Amino acid sequence: MAPQTFFELKNAVVGIAGLGGLGSNVGVALTRLKVGKLILVDFDVIEESNLTRQNYFADQVGQHKVDASLENFRRIDPEANLKGHKTRLTPEKIVEVFKDCHVIAECFDRADQKKMIVETVLTKMKDVVVVSVSGLAGYGRSNEIVTRRISDRLVLVGDTVSGTGPGVPLTAPRVGIAAYHQANAIAELLLNELHIKLARNSK
């Protein structure tokens, strides 16, 4: 029997800005959902320390995160429509590489970079929704990580206060919870709000 998929998602285009603990895991979930197209962006290579929470494997250390994610997601679904960009995102680049996206997942690490992409999407891109994360460091307190709709085009995941710092590491379970909140918010947006637009595009 063919695996059950959401027909509406096949026309969706989702951008993933950053392929660290959030992006590498969000991509797995969206690949399994069979979202039509994913645009993956990161400039970095995998370090051994990333393996504590990011969806990479020991034999991928040293590879570009974009290349390793393309490989990993295609192992889940060889038919997945994926596009990778090895580049550092600036406001100009964000508008350019994500121009066809319905939703963008903000998966950066640094607070100022998170602010930069959210501000750019909300001021420079029409109709695109951004799903961002703030506050996921440490362990425990699973239920303090929440998904909140800030406005029509901004969804914010996290506990809003737990930043990384001395003694507050990023851990696989808590980063994973936030990443899957993010992927679930994207699925909800695409299926509940953007399905009419997606259906129209298919004609």
Partner 1 sequence: MSAVLKINGAEKTFDDGLPSNLSELLTILKIDTATVVAEIDGKIIERKDFAQTSLNEAQAIELIRFVGGG
Two tokens at 40?
Answer: 């993956």
Query: What DSSP state is assigned to residue 81?
Result: -
Q: Please say which residue, 32 or 115, places its beta carbon nearer to partner 1.
A: 115
Binding site for partner 1 (CB under 8 A): 18, 20-23, 107-112, 114-115, 118-119, 122-123, 132-137, 150-151, 154, 156, 158, 160-165, 170, 175
- Residue 203 DSSP symbol: -
Q: 170 or 198, CB closer to partner 1?
A: 170
Cβ proximity to partner 1: between 104 and 137 the closer is 137
- Minimum Å distance from CB 112 to partner 1? 5
C-alpha distances in Å from residue 32, one per residue of 2, 10, 15, 131, 200: 13, 12, 16, 19, 24
Q: What 3-state DSSP class applies to 161?
A: coil
- Min dist CB 138 to partner 1, Å, is 9
Least Cβ distance, residue 57 to partner 1 (angstroms): 20
Unique residue bearing structure tokens 């939703």: 103
**Does residue 12 contact residue 199 with C-beta atoms inside 8 Å?**
no
Residue 107 C-beta: closest distance to partner 1, Å = 6
